[in-house]
A and B are shown apart, each in its own frame.
Chain A
Amino acid sequence: MIDVLLLAQESTGFFPTFLQTLIKGLALGSIYAVMGIGFVIVFKGTQVLNFAAGGIAMAGALFMSILVNDAGLPFLPFSNPLAPEIGTTPSIPRWLINLVLALIIAAILGMVLERIAIRPMIGQPLFSMAVITLGIETALGPFNRDATSLTARSLQIPWGLEQWEFLGAGIPKSYVGAMVAAVLCFLSINLFFRSRFGVAMRAVAFDQEAAQAQGINVGRVFSIAWGLGAALVAVGAIFYGMGPFPPQGTVSQEIHPVLAFRVLPVIILGGLDSIPGALYGGLLIASAEVFAGQYLAQWTSVLGAGYSTIVPYIVMLIVLLVRPYGLFGSEEIRRV
């Protein structure tokens, strides 16, 4: 099912094809990087590898589709006043406002999950906490599948499948959107880490007890880490749902829930606790995936259909053989 993404593109000449592939790699890399940062921030703040990211990402994308599609919100008696007219595609500003709303809801979901499932586990072995996140993932499954099944799942992308022509190559606007989103996320996370709570989060990551002794409220730091992490994976999922990627402008029941797991090689490659690692890892892995899909297509009969989805894991394997703690991770990273 994922092969659609990786089908060789219509080629019109070497350079345009190359450029198109490169842009696609960068766009997919941006999405991986944003989701990777979502993992990293949870790991940095709470030392937990968040296996619930898939469910949270899917839920975030669903919130978005609900907000932009239907005036009525599920479970709630009132409707979304900012929703576009029924049957119309929203204008860009209105779509962005709804995007922000969806991210806020995703962040609240992350904070609630942290409060009910992770907070009581503070001080328990990290392995149990990682398994708890797997449990959250499973619990979010039915919510994602059934509770919202009555709502259409289009993301109502204002620019649809439009693309710009550039040097003979077609550059979809969605790809550029994903890159802009990734740059904005990366910059704001860097700013956040210099802020009061960001410094507190890094202090908690380094030495939780000493951070407590400074009067830092560790629970609140955990909560912020999960909120930010949830919002970031939701950004990734929403932008993945756009345009020429396989879901074709919708939230997909098949593709979205596993999307976060495709990001695992990215953060393991970049180093679990490194924000730049997630960025470079995302770009590297996605480029490898997209380029392999484009340029090895003639050997599909030998390699098997969908071979490019395993390229990230091959890259990860090779890197881990040489640097077990990832390209940018700290050497004494803890076991998960």
Chain B
Amino acid sequence: MLEISNLEVVYNEVALVLRGLSIEVPDGSVVALLGSNGAGKTTTARATTGLLDNHEGKSTKGTIMWNGQDITHMKPSSIVRAGISQVMEGRRCFGELTVDENLATGAFTNKDGAKRNYDRVMELFPRLLERRKQLAGYMSGGEQQMLAIGRAMMAEPKLMILDEPSLGLAPLLVQQVRDVISLINSEGTSILLIEQNAMMALSIADFGYIMENGKIVMDGEGQKLLADDDVKEFYLGLHGDESGERKSFRDVKHYKRRKKWAS
């Protein structure tokens, strides 16, 4: 189980991005972390996987506990070894490496299981099998997202953090990514799903958190959040009073409705 409590992260020693964030990801569950741009979602992912150093960031307060172990200041390689892998925002495939070599980098910490995990990835994404000798940089966005997820699976993580996996994908591919995530979860990997696409994320999440300005403003079970009026209005773009039907822009008086958590 991943437990982040009261985490504060500062960039460049001045920009306070996370202000006391607390979330939990129980074993075997899918947890969604939602929020608009600049809320601190990616920072949360970086802090959890030890990548803050690359961005002059530092966690100044709070702890990140993974199965009882404090990983707040651990090296990225140790965190991956401990069982947490991240699928980074924007896919970040190694464009000059072939598909096979990309997957091999994912198995860097887990070479014993490389063969088994490789077969599992190829079974899940037959598309990658067709292109295994091709350079990753020449693949389409959807294929690269599959590759990025497959690469993370090579480490056989117990927790997979996915940062905006639906970014820049067509709706049909978003659905496919969602199905893949459910499938990986059903095989026993917990998922922390960071998304702007709230509808997609909440439809598979057991539990959801909504972030604003570096802290959690609302949480609840996935279905409960989906039904919430404020979430509907601010994250799903629905304005219906009861049925979720669309309003004309003329009628939208944004200032009239106040988020109930903004006191």
Rounded to whole angstroms, the CA-CA distance of A209 and B109 in the bound complex is 16
Size of chain A's interface in residues, with CB distance under 8 A? 18
Nearest residue in B to A193 (C-beta to C-beta)? Answer: B101
| Interface residues as binary, A206-221 with B (CB distance below 8 Å gives 1, 0 otherwise) | 1111111111110000
- A residues less than 8 Å from B104 (CB atoms): 196, 199
**Contact, CB under 8 Å: A216 / B92:** no
**Contact, CB under 8 Å: A202 / B80:** no
Q: Answer whether residue B213 sits at the interface, using C-beta atoms and an 8 A cutoff.
A: no
- B residues less than 8 Å from A210 (CB atoms): 88, 92-94
Q: Answer whether residue A123 sits at the interface, using C-beta atoms and an 8 A cutoff.
A: yes
**Contact, CB under 8 Å: A216 / B88:** no
Q: Answer whether residue B58 sits at the interface, using C-beta atoms and an 8 A cutoff.
A: no
- The interface size bin for chain B is 20 to 34
Rounded to whole angstroms, the CA-CA distance of A13 and B145 in the bound complex is 65
User: Known contacts A202-B101, A206-B96, A207-B92; is A196 also within 8 Å of B108 by CB?
Assistant: yes
Rounded to whole angstroms, the CA-CA distance of A202 and B106 in the bound complex is 13
A-B contact pairs, 11 of them (CB 8 A): A123-B54, A199-B97, A206-B94, A206-B95, A206-B96, A209-B88, A210-B92, A212-B51, A214-B106, A215-B77, A216-B105
Rounded to whole angstroms, the CA-CA distance of A188 and B254 in the bound complex is 66
Q: Answer whether residue B86 sits at the interface, using C-beta atoms and an 8 A cutoff.
A: yes
B50 to chain A: closest CB distance in Å?
Answer: 8
Q: When the two chains form the complex, which single residue of B77, B81, B94 contacts A203, counting CB atoms closer than 8 Å?
A: B94
Q: When the two chains form the complex, which single residue of A196, A202, A212, A215 contacts B94, counting CB atoms closer than 8 Å?
A: A202
User: Known contacts A196-B111, A199-B101; is A213 also within 8 Å of B94 by CB?
Assistant: no
User: Known contacts A203-B94, A214-B151; is A209 also within 8 Å of B51 by CB?
Assistant: yes
**Contact, CB under 8 Å: B105 / A211:** yes
Given contacts A123-B53, A199-B105, A214-B105, 13 further A-B contacts (CB under 8 A): A196-B104, A203-B94, A206-B94, A206-B95, A209-B54, A210-B88, A210-B92, A210-B94, A211-B94, A212-B50, A214-B108, A214-B155, A215-B76
- A residues less than 8 Å from B29 (CB atoms): none
**Contact, CB under 8 Å: A213 / B96:** no
Nearest residue in B to A211 (C-beta to C-beta)? Answer: B105
User: Known contacts A213-B86, A215-B77, A215-B80; is A207 also within 8 Å of B94 by CB?
Assistant: yes
Residues of B bordering A, CB below 8 Å = 49-51, 53-54, 75-77, 79-81, 85-86, 88, 92-97, 101-102, 104-106, 108-109, 111, 151-152, 155
| Interface residues as binary, A119-135 with B (CB distance below 8 Å gives 1, 0 otherwise) | 00001000000000000
Nearest residue in A to B106 (C-beta to C-beta)? Answer: A214
Nearest residue in A to B148 (C-beta to C-beta)? Answer: A210
Q: Answer whether residue A200 sits at the interface, using C-beta atoms and an 8 A cutoff.
A: yes
Among A196, A206, A207: residue with most chain B CB under 10 A: A206
Nearest residue in B to A273 (C-beta to C-beta)? Answer: B96
Nearest residue in A to B81 (C-beta to C-beta)? Answer: A215
Residues of A bordering B, CB below 8 Å = 123, 196, 199-200, 202-203, 206-217
A199 to chain B: closest CB distance in Å?
Answer: 5
Among A208, A210, A211, A213: residue with most chain B CB under 10 A: A213
Among A203, A209, A211, A214: residue with most chain B CB under 10 A: A214
Nearest residue in A to B137 (C-beta to C-beta)? Answer: A206
Q: When the two chains form the complex, which single residue of B77, B95, B102, B151 contacts A217, counting CB atoms closer than 8 Å?
A: B77
Nearest residue in B to A202 (C-beta to C-beta)? Answer: B97
- A residues less than 8 Å from B96 (CB atoms): 202, 206
Among B49, B92, B95: residue with most chain A CB under 10 A: B92
Among B92, B95, B104, B105: residue with most chain A CB under 10 A: B105
**Contact, CB under 8 Å: A208 / B77:** no
- A residues less than 8 Å from B85 (CB atoms): 213-215
Q: When the two chains form the complex, which single residue of A200, A209, A217 contacts B105, counting CB atoms closer than 8 Å?
A: A200
